[in-house]
Structure 1
Amino acid sequence: MKPRKRTRASRAATEFRYEKLTWPEINDAVDLGKVCIVPCGAVEQHGAHLPLDVDIVCPTGISRGAGKLIPDKMLVLPTVCYGYTGHVMDFPGTINNHYQHFIDHVLDITKSLAYHGFKKILLLNGHGSNMPNLDLVARRTNLETDAECILCGWWNLLTVDKQFLPRWRQSKFPGGCAHACELETSLYLFLDSDNVRKDRIKSGVISFNEEDSPFSWVDLFAAGPATLISWTSSYSETGVLGDAELASTEKGKRGRKSP
């Protein structure tokens, strides 16, 4: 039987950082029905202007920002920093986590949360190629525990307000927002401006997007009916996929606050 102890005036009611609670306070957080947010990222190249930690900083910043707004309703776990990046290993600095290891690792986290009594879990993803793997994690969590787990890429939160993205976005569609692009660069400028190499911000193209195929094209917000995933260097010389030069700190601030 798991130990259970009530705490008077528990910090669980006001603390959103999971790792800052004690074990009795975790029990209180369960009783409060808190939603657990698990930010998931990756260490990979983002062109010459953004650091390797973009996919960590973005979901972490959004999660913690939400936690500060509603600390009584959510807990933010430490970020899962290494994701599946096999196709980006052709750019130096990228760290690949084998997809099965990644799935097993995140599933261990969600199952642990469910074991302790949490009923609602959100995987907030910051790296596109994590999505199919995290989808499987969410499905298995729902089937193998009594918790409810959902998956969301942070960029998709910008589509909740149907009027926001058309007003916010200046880049072409498709391709203007894909990787190290208008969107990621803007949010990183807002969250950690000092680490953006502003003198090296250059837009980049996705070579197969330029072919105007009705079947194969990519953008963060949609993709063609046929999926083409190969080495990043086979369709980008710089690792930048999109209109990074349209990014701004103000856009990042607006994006962080949406919806």
Structure 2
Amino acid sequence: MELTSSTWTELAEVETDLAVLPVGSTEQHGPHAPLGTDTLNAEAVAEAAAERHADPVVVAPAIPVAVAEEHRRFTGTLWTDESTFRAYVRDVVNSLAAHGWDRVVLVNGHGGNVAALGEVAARIVRHDDAYAAPFTWFDEVDAEVNMGHGGPLETSLLEHANPETVREDRLDEAAAGASDRWGDWQGRVNLAVDSHEFTENGVVGDPREGSAALGEELLDEAADALVALLDAVAERDPRPTAE
């Protein structure tokens, strides 16, 4: 059940301890995809998994501003520092737990959030009356094309789940100004701090390699992986006693 579209009385009748918290970002994704790409994709995966799960799953409203300073030179990008982000995620999880939804999967759509989500999930498990596990949707799919940024995977999921947001007439422009890979590398060291240092228009990869059909496959695969994780979270003893 989605929190934002439900009444409190409806939610009070839901018997579950499972929740998903979509976590995205507001950052550039080239000339063809919206700044809300990561949030929209995280929401799509979270909602699909909640619908498929055998037991009720509460879907919290997405966190739309996160760790994205690496895109600061592109207009419209918003960001917060990691400590603020971790504190906010922790507060939201504890709010959910206060209503009995104390097993929460953090459904992530932005690579820049991964480290911070891992840290805050561990902090929640160790110190709070809740259990949290991070889940990044694009780590759970097996695609023949590279992830990139505003590339074929993210664009494909948008084309399937939110097709009206993709500027199809700008795909050629997006590909023309894209970088082949993330970063500016010397050996195994990335010399670039921000994305504008290596990509002209913010894109990494060729979004023309994607499609709505691929997006449907990605959504199925990611949602199934999330359902399996929810099952594991539901069965897990959050604080096993050491022998």
Instruction: Tell me if both proteins adopt one fold, taking TM over 0.5 as the criterion.
Output: yes
The two structures have a TM-score, normalised by structure 2, of 0.81
Task: Give the TM-score normalised by the residue count of structure 1.
Answer: 0.76
Describe the superposition over 1:95-141 as per-residue Cα deviations: whole angstroms up to 9, x where unpaired. Answer: 11222221111110112222333331100011111111111211111
Q: Secondary structure at the match of 1:38?
A: strand
The structure whose Rg is larger is: 1
Residues 1:248 and 1:119: Cα distance change in structure 2 (over 3 Å): same
Which of residues 169, 192, 211 in structure 2 aligns to 1:248? 211
Note the C-alpha offset of 1:206: 4.2
Residue in structure 1 matched with residue 59 of structure 2 by the alignment: 76
Alignment equivalent of 2:47, drawn from 64, 69, 72: 64
| Bigger mean CA offset, 101-110 vs 193-202 | 193-202
Displacement of 1:75 in angstroms is 0.9
Counterpart CA distance in 2 for 1:137 and 1:105 is 10
Q: Number of paired residues?
A: 218
Gap runs ≥5 in structure 2: 225-243
In structure 2, what is the Cα distance between the partners aligned to 1:136 and 1:25? 33
Partners of 2:164 and 2:7 lie apart in 1 by 34
| Structure 2 residue aligned with 1:237 | 200
Pair 1:180-2:150 in alignment: yes
Q: Residues 205, 148 of structure 1: CA spacing in aligned structure 2 closer, same or farther, 3 A cutoff?
A: same
Could you say if the C-alpha distance between residues 82 and 210 of structure 1 is closer, same or farther in structure 2, counting changes exceeding 3 Å?
Answer: closer
Indicate the structure whose relative CO is greater, using CA pairs within 8 Å and at least 6 residues apart: 2
Answer whether contact 2:94 2:129 (CA < 8 A) is retained. Answer: no
Deviates more, 1:202-211 or 1:108-117: 202-211
Q: Is the 8 A contact 1:206 1:235 kept in 2?
A: no
Structure 1 unmatched runs, 5+: 1-15, 159-164, 217-226
Contact 1:37–1:75 (8 Å) recurs in 2: yes
**Aligned twin of 1:37:** 20
1:46/1:52 contact within 8 Å kept: yes
Amino acid at match of 1:70: H
Q: Partner amino acid for 1:63?
A: A
- Alpha-carbon distance in structure 1 between the residues aligned to 2:167 and 2:9: 45
Asked if 1:153 is matched to 2:136, the reply is yes
1:20–1:245 distance in 2 versus 1, CA, 3 Å? closer
**Superposition RMSD in Å:** 2.2
Read off the aligned partner of 2:188 and give its amino acid letter: F
Question: Is 1:105 equivalent to 2:88 in the alignment?
Answer: yes
Matched-pair identity in %: 27
Match of 2:74, as an amino acid?
A: F
* TM superposition outliers: structure 1 runs of 4+ over 3 Å: 19-29, 206-211
Instruction: Tell me which residue corresponds to 2:70.
Output: 87
Match of 1:192 among 152, 156, 162: 162
Shift of 1:74: 0.8
